[in-house]
């Protein structure tokens, strides 16, 4: 009986330790990893309850921190947002918007973070599905999930 209780305590302490290390890593990521636009990433990550590390990673993968990037598909800016998606999000946010605003760092990160949170909500917090939908399109990922 005592060994069982000790084992449970050890497991609980290990889980707490892992959680603490994870939190410290996530919160210090932006201090340790050289990223641009830290204040905007922190601001909108907090506003939309996203991990700043995840947002910074999306920006790194999507545009390599190039605010003037335009993909072959027509996605624009740091977070590589499609103009049609940006118009929909801007309407939901109630902000005035023109497609060229996607080159504005603050606007791009705001719209990108809103959309990423929207996708996370659609997929019940499943980060894999949300990030796949961010990159490949919501309808594509829904089709893939249905085909299972």
Residue 131 CA to residue 119 CA, distance in Å, equals: 8
Let me know: does 86 contact 111? Beta carbons within 8 Å.
Answer: yes
Cα distances from 106 to residues 17, 22, 123, 137, in angstroms, run 36, 28, 26, 23
Annotated active-site residue 40? The verdict is: no
Please, how many CA atoms are within 13 Å of residue 4, restricted to the half-sphere of its CB? Answer: 1
Catalytic residue among 40, 49, 62, 98: 62
| Residues known to be catalytic | 62
């Amino acid at each position: 009986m005592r060994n069982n209780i000790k084992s449970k305590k050890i497991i609980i302490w290990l889980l707490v330790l892992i959680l603490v290390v994870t939190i410290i890593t996530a919160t210090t990521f932006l201090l340790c990893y050289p990223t641009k636009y830290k204040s905007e990433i922190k601001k909108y990550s907090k506003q939309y309850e996203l991990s700043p590390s995840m947002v910074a990673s999306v920006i790194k993968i999507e545009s390599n921190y190039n605010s003037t990037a335009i993909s072959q598909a027509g996605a624009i800016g740091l977070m590589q947002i499609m103009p049609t998606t940006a118009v929909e999000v801007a309407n939901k946010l109630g902000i005035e918007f023109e497609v060229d605003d996607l080159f504005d760092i603050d606007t791009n990160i705001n719209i990108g973070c809103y959309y990423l949170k929207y996708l996370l909500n659609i997929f019940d917090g499943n980060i894999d599905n949300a990030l796949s939908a961010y990159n490949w399109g919501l309808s594509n990922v829904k089709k893939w999930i249905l085909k299972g």
